[in-house]
């Protein structure tokens, strides 16, 4: 099992949710760094500039102003070079209990998991051990 530390990006317009995600990520002891973004387009710019060999775990909210989670997924698909896309392990993190959101997420093959808020240490650890 690969126990290297990982890089994390949290994208959520709620400051509190970013804070919670950061804390939970740090508490797993598996994070090299956590960056939070209130807006998805800022996060995308940051992702474009990352070194080509770095694996990053993304946690992105669905319901956000300006660019929502699904728009982020589309922008990711269209704007991040294909060879770099596999560097990102993208997870949706939402309080949505809407089946349509969950079904819509399934239409994106590169989405790793649909995580529910509030993010728990257990759920995050399961996700990490599945991808490590």
Residue 119 lies near another protein (rule: CB under 8 A): yes
For residues 84 and 114, which CB has a smaller minimum distance to another protein in the complex?
A: 114
> Which among 70-78, 84-92, 102-110, 116-124 is the span making contact with another protein, rule CB under 8 A?
116-124
For residues 16 and 49, which CB has a smaller minimum distance to another protein in the complex?
A: 16
Residue 54 lies near another protein (rule: CB under 8 A): no
DSSP state for residue 89 in the 8-state scheme? E
> Which among 52-60, 72-80, 113-121, 122-130 is the span making contact with another protein, rule CB under 8 A?
113-121
Residue in 79, 86, 95, 103 binding another protein, rule: CB under 8 A: 95
Per the structure block, which two tokens stand in for 62? 């669905």
Other Cβ atoms closer than 10 A to 65: 9
Q: What are phi and psi of 73, to 5 degrees?
A: -60, -40
For residues 39 and 114, which CB has a smaller minimum distance to another protein in the complex?
A: 39
Closest Cα to residue 51, out of 84, 81, 11, 9? Answer: 84
Q: What are phi and psi of 57, to 5 degrees?
A: -95, 125
> Which among 48-56, 60-68, 70-78, 122-130 is the span making contact with another protein, rule CB under 8 A?
60-68
> How far apart are the C-alpha atoms of 37 and 46, rounded to whole Å?
10
């Amino acid at each position: 099992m690969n126990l290297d530390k990982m890089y994390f990006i949290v994208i959520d317009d709620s400051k509190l949710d970013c804070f919670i995600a950061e804390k939970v990520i740090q508490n797993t002891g598996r994070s090299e760094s956590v960056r939070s973004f209130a807006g998805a387009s800022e996060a995308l710019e940051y992702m474009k500039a990352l070194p080509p060999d770095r694996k990053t775990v993304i946690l992105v909210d669905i319901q956000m102003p300006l660019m929502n989670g699904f728009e982020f997924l589309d922008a990711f698909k269209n704007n991040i070079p294909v060879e770099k896309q596999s560097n990102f392990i993208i997870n949706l993190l939402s309080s949505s209990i809407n089946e349509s959101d969950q079904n819509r997420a399934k239409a994106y093959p590169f989405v790793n998991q649909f995580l529910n808020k509030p993010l728990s240490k257990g759920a995050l650890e399961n996700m990490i051990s599945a991808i490590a």
